[in-house]
Amino acid sequence: MQMRLPFFISIQMLLILFFVGAPSVVAADEPDKATLEPVGKGWQTLFLGKSLEGWKYQPEYWKLDEGVLAGKTPGTPEHHYAYTEKDYADFELHADVKLVGNNSGVCIRIAPTNFDNVPGYQVDMGDDYWGCLWDERGRGMVAKFPRAEADKLVKKEAWNHYYVKAQGHHIQVWLNGVKTIDVEDEKGRATGRIGFQLCHGGKKTEASFKNVMVKMLNSNEASK
């Protein structure tokens, strides 16, 4: 009996695995559903309906209709940013984004001087830039996400989703539920406004944003 016991146990374990199933392995690029929509309390909508109260923007380039902020340019050389009047330090942010054209982005911790000069972080949108973190008017590319991987995630000229978590100098970004950026950037800004870039390089661009929600972290409140 002692000689047969290990064999008996191994057969028993195989039978358990057959009927119960082995532990599942989650693929590294499988979407994290928790990053696709706001979870928990404390979320605030940055714009609703047809009101852009609390935002600075150029009305000839930006329109808000039923919760969708749409920017369109015929190809002027300026960037035509739109951004909040308030600063945000540590926060989580959800945004549905759509790009038709050259390049755009979700801007965080920015310090605008006008609608064309907006230093700070940009969670980028566009070929070779989707899923990347850029430092506008500063160091340029902070963290690169491979285009080959981004092309697997992005729905061209359709709605995509960004989830951003900024806490201290720790910046994390998810594109359509897949983490693309996870960096400790000690040189980056610790606070600033939230906004959107319309275009880059004088190219015709249409950039749209909706379901933009933000939640402050560490009991911080947005301040003017």
Q: 90-139, pLDDT tens digit by residue?
A: 999 999 999 999 899 999 999 999 999 999 999 999 999 999 999 999 99
Beta bridge partners of 136: 120
Can you tell me the distance from the alpha carbon of 215 to that of 37, in angstroms, rounded to the nearest whole number? 12
Handedness of CA 189, 192, 196, 199 (dihedral sign): negative
Structure tokens that stand for 148 in this block: 């080959």
Can you tell me the distance from the alpha carbon of 130 to that of 180, in angstroms, rounded to the nearest whole number? 9
Q: 188-213, pLDDT tens digit by residue?
A: 999 999 999 999 878 899 999 999 99
- Closest by CA position to 99, among listed 206, 176, 204: 206
pLDDT at 20 over 90: no
For residue 149, which phi and psi values (nearest 5 degrees)?
-75, -40
CATH 3.40.50.720, domain 43-216, yes or no = no
Residue 17 contacts by C-beta under 8 Å, 6 or more apart in sequence?
none
Provide, rounded to the nearest whole percent, the portion of the chain with pLDDT above 90: 75
* Predicted pLDDT of residue 16: 37
Maximum Cα–Cα distance across the chain: 87
Q: Could you state, in order of their start, the residue ranges of all structural domains in the chain?
A: 43-216
Cβ-contact 104, 186 below 8 angstroms: no
Question: Which of 18-22, 70-74, 120-124 shows the lowest per-residue confidence on average (mean pLDDT)?
Answer: 18-22
Mean pLDDT of 73-82: 92
Beta strands at 205-216 and 44-45: parallel, antiparallel or unpaired? antiparallel
Cβ-contact 198, 101 below 8 angstroms: no
Mean pLDDT of 166-180: 98
Cβ-contact 93, 108 below 8 angstroms: yes
Helix, strand or coil, per DSSP, at residue 200: coil
Question: Which of 18-22, 56-60, 82-86, 173-177 shows the lowest per-residue confidence on average (mean pLDDT)?
Answer: 18-22
